[in-house]
Amino acid sequence: MQAVAPPTAPEGARTDPILALDGVTKIFPGVKALSDVALRLYPGQVTALVGENGAGKSTVVKILTGIYQPDGGQILLDGQPVSFATAQDAASAGVTAIHQETVLFDDLSVAENIYLGHAPRTRLGLIDTRAMIAKAAKILASIGAHMDPTVRLRDLGIANKHLVAIARALSVDARIVIMDEPTAALSHKEIQELYDLVEKLKAQGKAILFISHKFDEIFRIADRYTVFRDGQFIGDGLITDVTESDLVKMMVGRAVDQIFPDRQRLGGTEILRVVGYDHPTEFADINFTLHRGEILGFYGLVGAGRSELMQALFGITRPSKGVVRIDDKVRVIRSPAEAVAQGIVYVPEDRGKQGAITSLPIFQNITLPSLRRTSRNGFLRLAEEFRLARDYTSRLDLRAASLDTELGTLSGGNQQKVVIAKWLATRPKVIILDEPTKGIDIGSKAAVHEFMAELAAQGLAVIMVSSEIPEILGMSDRVVVMREGRIVDILDHDNLTPETLVRRAAGIEDGADQ
Amino acid sequence: MSTTRTIPDRLQSPLQRNLKSWETLLLLVAVGIFILNSFASPYFLDPWNLSDATFNFTEKAMIAFAMALLIISGEIDLSVASIIALASTAMGFAVQMGFGTPALVMVGLGVGLVCGAFNGVLVTRFGLPSIVVTIGTMSLFRGISYIVLGDQAFRGYPIDFAFFGQGYVWWIISFELALFGVLAVIFGVLLHKTNFGRAVYAIGNNPVAAAFSGIRVARVKFILFLLTGLMSGVAAICLTSRLGSTRPSIAMGWELEIVTMVVLGGVSILGGAGTIPGVVLAAFIMGLVTFGLGLLNVPGIVMSIVIGALLISVIALPRLWEKWKTR
């Protein structure tokens, strides 16, 4: 058995970790998601895993729950190396996870949901309903959830459903509980109840890995912290030894080695003005303007309502209130077709589902919104279609065998270039890019950034939704920060620091701990 | 920004691609069955017999063209045979009221359009699944026919009305066969050569991304339901004219034969892929098989077994072949 040398001395840890990751590396094609990271989980303690989007948090969760296999390093359970080849292996080792969105079954009872797949059996091999209900009631009581286990899940509210998900996670006799942003969907009161629950679990000696973007709850609930950045281990220790500022600095670090194109700011005329935009559930009181030649960044945590706002501007969802002015004229946009006609186009975040038709050839994807221009009297003209596709793909430096190739066979980066080309071919006035470089390789990223800069230089107005701080800082002229469906700040690019962005997005008061 | 890199438009010429296609396989199957039939029965090669044989598929194929577009877009209409029944009943009713042939045609087409619009509204406006909606309207439309007709039949269609189902345009070319040919060209052009056809493929492959690309998905689907209803009306006119009478059981079970024809033609039942030439070939194949077996005095029940086996084997063989090759 090898001794694990911790990166910082586990001060105050009287016990050994139940579970530890040691030098774990995970490589995906083109991306090193985790590079030699360490993580230690102690019994009866909450460890907060902190990091920006793309830091590698979800990859770690997937490795701990047996969904991914590490490419290097080892997992130590009670100091012994183990491998979680399947989700079952991880579960039988006592690892369980409560996800942000848990898959539950509306038409089954609470007890059936808790014990689906591992229900107690009678001697005949049938489900022992009575024992199942009794055991479910016991688990529910242990987490302070007072509900009838025979009730159908459909009849419960969202908070109680969440408790059922937690009960399900605990029903497998877990020693290690992973909570992946457990408070994202909860109200204030429910969050308090969750804190109580976490205390109960601690008292039972369980090791808890707590993943959250919210600093107030990290400092409220966690005993220890571990910070990742860009798939690398940055540091860990006791939460009492750090301040919010320390954590933010560790998360953000120095700028990553990414080079962004130099940009000249144009100061063009106003093209888009959004006034008093409201949506019943997703966003409220949105006001901003956009100018020709400008790149306007939208920063915020996942769930801040940025994509929902963009989809409303593009006519996919309807706002309940508010006015959109394009070139100072009020425009009502009720469908994507109308948005395109008004010169607003949208490159969605979910490329596979919303952005691209992967089973059609490249050129057909590109010409789809421009068919009216390439056709004559409604009849296709293939030569025109190829000409248009060739024109725009060559400007984006697309790599493909032919324009007739099925789009799905290309890499993510090249698919994204096709989706962008598709919209540019419509000659828009405003292009909205939602996480334009998410999940694409470095080379394609640079190509997309360079092209964005070029578009802005030509006078196109660009809105860029991004959760990557370097990208926001490197590309935007101004940055709109959103939190919980509202704009909290519109910041000028000058004097903008990563720390400011993180603080505004997470809702940390200025000078709270300085 | 200037790049010297140029991406070729295509790696394969359209001709090369066509040679390797499903349609080529269907053509070989059709020729094979034709040769087999000509050996099996001395009566098969008689031109008038062959002409008669085309009535086995022309009416169904008219609907199959529209159905192909509908299935490619990811929807289906199982009420088509019941639309025939309702349209035919309405025409029979119109005859009792003393209407002439032009009015009868209008009634047939009109009922088809109204039924198609009804399906279309339920699917596109209320967001109901088309398979459920059209199973419902399948019972509904034919049910109305039964209520109107009971166990009676409408007869007494005008003499000139008989032309649609019994007339000939030139030598052995019946009006129905000519109409089949014209409709094949129209639907082939609509699907393969127009913006509308491209939208149908886009919707069938990914309706969300199609909507995100500015395509009016609901409108396209509604038009497809209208077209399918209209073609059911056209088929109702031809069939009623050929039979010279209307019973509520007219065209019973055709919906599945039409779907079979479409799928045999290479249209993906999941949507997104398929061609009109494929459906044309599938129509010929089904017509030839039924006719050949008929000449050999094979009973109808055996015919349906043969058609079923043909469908499964033609669909399954290429996949088995692929698996076997990659092993």
Tens digit of pLDDT at every position of chain B (327 positions): 444 457 888 887 777 777 777 888 889 989 998 898 888 888 888 888 888 889 889 999 999 999 999 999 999 999 999 999 999 999 999 999 999 999 999 999 999 999 999 999 999 999 999 999 999 999 999 999 999 998 888 988 999 999 998 999 998 899 999 999 999 999 999 999 999 999 999 999 999 999 999 999 999 999 999 999 999 999 999 999 999 999 999 999 899 999 999 998 989 888 999 999 999 999 999 888 888 888 888 887 887 788 788 778 877 776 777 677 665
Contact B104, B76 (CB under 8 A): no
Three-state SS across A209-233?
Answer: EEECCCHHHHHHHCCEEEEEECCEE
Q: What is the pTM of this model?
A: 0.77
**Does residue B1 form part of some domain?**
no
Check CB contact of A446 with chain B, cutoff 8 Å: no
Amino acid, single-letter form, for residue B54 = T
Count of CB contacts below 8 A, A vs B?
104
Select the more confidently predicted residue: A513 or A186.
A186
pLDDT at A14: 57
C-alpha distances (whole Å) from A281 to each of A186, A278, A306, A308, B143 are 14, 9, 13, 10, 45
A236 bridge partner residues: A226
pLDDT at A4: 44
Q: What CATH fold (topology level) applies to the domain A1-7+15-94+176-253?
A: Rossmann fold (3.40.50)
pLDDT at B322: 67
**Does residue B9 form part of some domain?**
no
Residue A375: which of B195, B206, B209 has the nearest Cβ? B195
Q: Return the CATH number of the domain spanning residue range A270-343+428-506.
A: 3.40.50.300
Query: Using one digit for the tens of pLDDT, what is the confidence trace for A309-353?
Result: 999 999 998 888 899 999 989 999 999 999 999 999 999 988 888
Give CA A312 to chain center in angstroms. 20
Determine, for residues A316 and B211 on separate chains, whether the beta-carbon distance falls below 8 Å. Answer: yes
**Does residue B119 form part of some domain?**
yes
Three-state SS across chain B?
Answer: CCCCCCCCCCCCCHHHHHHCCHHHHHHHHHHHHHHHHHHHCCCCCCHHHHHHHHHHCHHHHHHHHHHHHHHHCCCCCCCHHHHHHHHHHHHHHHHHCCCCHHHHHHHHHHHHHHHHHHHHHHHHHCCCCHHHHHHHHHHHHHHHHHHHHCCCCECCCCHHHHHHHHCEEECCEEHHHHHHHHHHHHHHHHHHHEHHHHHHHHHHHCHHHHHHCCCCHHHHHHHHHHHHHHHHHHHHHHHHHHHCCECCCCCCCHHHHHHHHHHHCCCCCCCCCCCHHHHHHHHHHHHHHHHHHHHCCCCHHHHHHHHHHHHHHHHHHHHHHHHHHHC
Residue B198: which of A356, A380, A422 has the nearest Cβ? A380
User: In terms of residue numbers, what domain contains B156?
Assistant: 23-320
pLDDT at B10: 83
Q: Which residues contact A376 (CB under 8 A, 6 or more apart)?
A: none
Torsion angle in degrees (nearest 10) through CA of A267, A273, A276, A280: -110
Domain boundaries, chain A: 1-7+15-94+176-253, 102-173, 270-343+428-506
Check CB contact of A427 with chain B, cutoff 8 Å: no
| Best of B4, B9, B205 to mutate (most A CBs within 10 Å, chain A) | B9
**How does DSSP classify residue A2?**
P
The domain total for chain B is: 1
Query: Using one digit for the tens of pLDDT, what is the confidence trace for B35-88?
Result: 988 888 888 888 888 888 898 899 999 999 999 999 999 999 999 999 999 999
**Does residue B6 form part of some domain?**
no
CATH number, domain containing residue B148: 1.10.3470.10
CA atoms within 13 A on the CB side of B155: 2
| Separation of alpha carbons B193 and A199, rounded Å | 67
Select the more confidently predicted residue: A10 or A268.
A268
**Does residue B15 form part of some domain?**
no
Three-state SS across A148-203?
Answer: CCCCEHHHCCHHHHHHHHHHHHHCCCCCEEEEECCCCCCCHHHHHHHHHHHHHHHH
| Separation of alpha carbons B234 and A135, rounded Å | 65
A381-405 mean pLDDT: 89
Residue A335: its chain B contacts at CB < 8 A? 214, 216
Write the ipTM: 0.86
